[in-house]
Amino acid sequence: MGMSASKAINASRLDGKTVIITGCNTGIGKVTAQTLYGIGAKVIMACRDVEKAESTATEIRQHPVADPEKPHGEVLVKKLDLASFKSIRECAQEINQSESSIHMLINNAGVMMCPKDQTEDGFELQFGTNHLGHFLFTLLLLPKIIKSAPAKIINLSSLAHERGVINFDDVNGEKTYSSIKQYQQSKLANVLFTKELAERLEGKNVNVYAVHPGIVKTELGRYMDDTYFTGARFLARIVFGWWMKTPEQGAQTTLYCALDETAAKETGLYYSDCKVAKSAPLTHDKELSKKLWTESLKWTKLEDYDPFSA
């Protein structure tokens, strides 16, 4: 059992609510989907590997985390490759057309410390997937989320954001590439995005959260052997094993933000172990968050788009 494994205790139901979760065919995303489906939500699994996601969806239907005396929700799969703006736009368009409401968006997907690579649109893979992919996806869905209020947007970040720096002059790490620094940059961007989005959504009844799930035994670290050396992932599990959480434990802070009555009154904050936590000093730099927002609009070609018009 990992250290500091708080548990989200809540009796809420999500009957009639639509929840979108990115990258949830394994790990904490799967547990999140399983739990919310079990309490009545319509869960849309937005995943890159549709075949694996369909298999997970079948498993979720067969083994929901739920009270057997109460009805389950619905679970379905949509194709979403966060490393492709084209795929993101297609998925968002499909969801906007098929769904009358979106009550919760959980930006759960991510890549960590992968070998140097690019997205389809030429961005460094971790920054392009973890930040820009979710930035674009969120803003394309935002008008419908606003119309569905009260609503929530939950962004999975990491403690790694504390060592992150947004290098606007070399955001893709082309001059000096470091896998861990690029990951840290993307996770800082997640928290800055959360705070800036929360500020811009003031008065819209849409709450935004940044979550550190803990050090979790998931597929997120699957690239470590390729990036460093064969056995690096195994070694990391030995060294950090005492602090590692199971996916069930790692999902608890996401579930806390999704369901807790106290969290429902909060927005723009950073959470760890089912409570508000202190984020890095850079995350409180409003000029930095505004600059990242402006540059992200340019990078995703959304300069002329107004997502707050709902």
Residues serving a catalytic function are 183
Q: Find out whether 110 and 181 touch, Cβ atoms under 8 Å.
A: no
Q: Find out whether 50 and 90 touch, Cβ atoms under 8 Å.
A: no
Rounded CA gap, 9 and 159, in Å?
23
Rounded CA gap, 185 and 183, in Å?
5
Partner residues linked to 18 by β-bridges: 42
